[in-house]
Amino acid sequence: MTAKNWLRNFTRSRNDRWIGGVCGGLGALTPVPSWTWRLIFTLFLLFGGTGLLLYILLWIFVPENPESEDTQLPV
């Protein structure tokens, strides 16, 4: 998968979210689980404050996933 396709497929999660769904979206797209992404952002927040800035920028510019498991009809 090229970088352009990866960025095109990156959306915020509607189901796996604590605040904005950024870590849930990263967890769905990469082999790294969402709790690990949350830990990484927290560590960046504690050591320099860049984690908060990066999270807010991703929250603003990354679209939310239009498809949600909650809105699908049960099988």
pLDDT by residue, tens only, the chain of 75 residues: 565 555 667 777 677 777 877 888 888 888 888 888 888 888 888 888 888 888 888 888 877 777 755 444 444
Distances (CA, A) of 20 to 1, 29, 31, 38, 63: 25, 16, 20, 11, 11
Q: Crossing angle, helix 50-61 and helix 22-29, to 10 degrees?
A: 80
What six digits make up the tokens of 32?
A: 């790294």
- What ranges do the domains of the chain cover? 32-62
